């Protein structure tokens, strides 16, 4: 992990200072101070990120990797500088291993198509888990349909943890790829990715981790995890929307064909053939989301400044508090009770549909997500059509969790 001296010194996180960095939090919604508890869907941006994007457009914008002029050079420096920041943030071995994408979804689709179509065949298996977000299910279903491979799903138990014994059993001679979430978006479960990677490595099976819900909340070191691919999104880690990252082990990326063709991903083009660009640009056809990358670089600087261990500690105590106060609400059942959880609480209220809960707490200024959270198989497992989900970030407070619990009492009153 990138050791930022400032972060090491900063033993405790000052909540008021941190909240002051997020302009959007300081507003009223339906006459009440906004309590934003929908961070797993999309987090908010600190002023530092907004300013970085604004500064880029105000001062430095031109196309990257193309011009000899000054602005093009500045844009390229900012764009590639952001890549280096991300590389350091997740401790990848080289900038060549950091591919910009539109987000986690595009990163997984890139691997499914580029790697999958050249490595999967009839009867091969892709092993995923029951806990996946649709973004780590559907791209594999598509490539399975294209290649004749088969999607195999590791079941989970009733606390929302994957069954490691089942995983080991399903990891067979035909398994060509293992893909799973680092942290479940719907339940918050932190998956035992080290065990999974170790088991897969013992059989020489590559592993893709969907890190969309992990990167914003804990220190991630891709070399330590020893995974082959790691996908995540800017907007969940306090950066812009429309930018994300695929980390790929250099040896894997090097032998994968380009996914999309166009400008920037080539060295030379003639009608007889094309010489592809080097890594990582081989996978970055067309003018990229330069401002998004710059903003994501600023988000990385911001998180480094606070320190990921401070963030993890802060969120662990928020989760403990919120779990305690929500459990006191009569008729409330928490879905997903794994011992290792990120600060996500999925719940149902007896006899009341989550959609109604969402509307009523919104009236109290509280933003939560309701629905299937793009994880319909999880809902099916627990026999519920949907849940309500409160998901916390380091800028949330215990008082906001208390307000949610109070609002849920009102919900019950309304439907009593």
Partner 1 sequence: MDLNDLYRDVIVDHNRSPRNFRQIEPPRREADGFNPLCGDKLHVYLRISDDRIEDAAFEGSGCAISVASASMMTEFLKGKTEAEALDLFERMHELLTGEEADLDELASLGKLAALSGVRQYPTRVKCASLCWHTMKSALASGDAVSTE
Applying CB under 8 A, the residues found at the interface with partner 1 are 30, 352-356, 359-360, 363, 370-372, 376, 379, 385-386, 414-415
CA distance 366 to 345: 14
**Which is closer to partner 1, CB of 276 or CB of 415?**
415
CA distance 353 to 387: 8
Report which DSSP code applies to 112.
Answer: I
CB 136 to partner 1: min, Å? 19
Ranges of beta strands (E only) in 97-213 are 98-101, 125-129, 150-154, 175-181, 207-210
**Catalytic residue flag (residue 374):** yes
CB 375 to partner 1: min, Å? 11
**Which is closer to partner 1, CB of 94 or CB of 359?**
359
Burial 321-349 (b: 16+ CB within 10 A, else e): bbbebbeebeebbbbbbbeebbbbbbbbb
CB 46 to partner 1: min, Å? 28
**Which is closer to partner 1, CB of 59 or CB of 359?**
359
**Which is closer to partner 1, CB of 284 or CB of 364?**
364
- Phi and psi torsions of 30, nearest 5°: 50, 40
**Which is closer to partner 1, CB of 62 or CB of 376?**
376
CB 374 to partner 1: min, Å? 10
The continuous run of DSSP H or E covering 291 comes out as: helix 290-306
Which residues have a Cβ under 8 Å from the Cβ of 272 and sit 6 or more positions away? none
CA distance 217 to 224: 17
SS3 label, residue 219: coil
3-state secondary structure 226-257: CCCEEEEECHHHCCCCCCEEEEECHHHHHHCC
**Which is closer to partner 1, CB of 223 or CB of 359?**
359
CB 361 to partner 1: min, Å? 11
Catalytic residue among 199, 374, 376, 384: 374
Closest Cα to residue 289, out of 323, 254, 240? 240
Find out whether 288 and 79 touch, Cβ atoms under 8 Å. Answer: yes
CB 350 to partner 1: min, Å? 13
Closest Cα to residue 102, out of 225, 5, 245, 286? 245
CA distance 293 to 245: 9
Instruction: Enumerate the active-site residues.
Output: 374
């Amino acid at each position: 992990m990138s050791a930022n001296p400032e972060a090491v010194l900063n033993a405790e996180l000052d909540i008021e200072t941190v909240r002051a960095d997020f302009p959007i939090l300081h507003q009223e919604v339906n006459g009440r101070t906004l309590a934003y508890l929908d961070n797993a869907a999309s987090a908010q941006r600190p002023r530092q990120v907004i300013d970085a994007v604004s500064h880029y457009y105000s001062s430095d914008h031109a196309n990257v990797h193309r011009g000899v002029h000054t602005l093009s050079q500045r844009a390229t420096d900012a764009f590639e500088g952001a890549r280096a920041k991300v590389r350091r943030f997740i401790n990848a071995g080289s900038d060549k291993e950091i591919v910009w994408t539109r987000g986690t979804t595009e990163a997984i689709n890139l691997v499914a198509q580029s790697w999958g179509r050249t490595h999967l065949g009839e009867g091969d298996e892709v092993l995923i888990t029951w806990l996946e977000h649709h973004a780590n299910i559907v791209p594999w279903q598509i490539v399975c349909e294209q290649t004749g491979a088969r999607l195999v799903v590791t079941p989970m138990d009733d606390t929302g943890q994957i069954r490691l014994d089942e995983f080991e059993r399903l990891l067979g001679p035909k398994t060509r790829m293992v893909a799973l979430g680092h942290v479940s978006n719907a339940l918050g479960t932190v998956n035992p990715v080290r065990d999974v990677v170790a088991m897969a490595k013992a059989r020489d099976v590559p592993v893709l981790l969907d890190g969309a819900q992990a990167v914003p909340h804990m220190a991630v070191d891709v070399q330590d995890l020893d995974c082959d691919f790691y996908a995540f999104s800017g907007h969940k880690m306090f950066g812009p929307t429309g930018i994300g990252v695929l980390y790929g082990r250099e040896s894997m990326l090097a032998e994968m064909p380009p996914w999309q063709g166009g400008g920037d991903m080539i060295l030379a083009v003639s009608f007889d053939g094309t010489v592809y660009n080097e890594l990582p640009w081989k996978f970055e056809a067309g003018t990229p989301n330069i401002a998004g990358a710059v903003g994501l670089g600023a988000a990385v600087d911001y998180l480094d400044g606070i320190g990921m261990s401070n963030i993890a500690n802060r969120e662990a105590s928020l989760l403990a508090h919120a779990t305690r106060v929500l459990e006191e609400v009569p008729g409330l059942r928490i879905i997903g009770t794994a011992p290792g959880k990120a600060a996500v609480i999925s719940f149902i209220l007896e006899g009341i549909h989550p959609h109604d809960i969402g509307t009523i707490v919104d009236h109290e200024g509280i933003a939560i997500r309701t629905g299937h959270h793009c994880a319909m198989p999880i809902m099916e497992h627990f026999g519920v059509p949907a849940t309500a989900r409160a998901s916390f970030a380091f800028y949330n407070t215990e008082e906001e969790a208390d307000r949610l619990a109070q609002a849920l009492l009102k919900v019950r009153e309304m439907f009593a």
